[in-house]
Structure 1
Amino acid sequence: MASPPPPPPVFRDPWAKREAWRKHPVFSRRAMLGSMFPGFGIALVAFTTYVIVDNIYLSAKPDSHH
């Protein structure tokens, strides 16, 4: 019976520590997209609230110009 071939030698990457920052979660695609437009979510909620309140108050007032 033939024995399986020996596994290939594992070489240690001398630059692994210097390249580790690329895999950090801060540099993920989601984090980059989230920080691309800071304050956009808050502005969107504030604007939506303004439009809804404005439409409710404008539609609730009777038309005084006949």
Structure 2
Amino acid sequence: MDHSPKFCRAQAAFHQSRADATSLPNVRVIEYAAAQAWTREAELAEMVDRRRARMGLPS
């Protein structure tokens, strides 16, 4: 299943806010890694959307 860039950015923001809000170092590391992963996923989803638009396919 493809995720939209908007969904991925929302997930990244959610995990970043959890990382910022916690006082537990292990949780901070995990949440920060999740935020980075969702940010990268958003970048990939944007690339897919651009490719589909170039080819005239529905997104």
* TM-score normalised by the chain length of structure 2: 0.39
Bigger Rg over Cα? 1
Query: Which of the pair has the greater relative contact order for Cα pairs under 8 Å at 6+ separation?
Result: 2
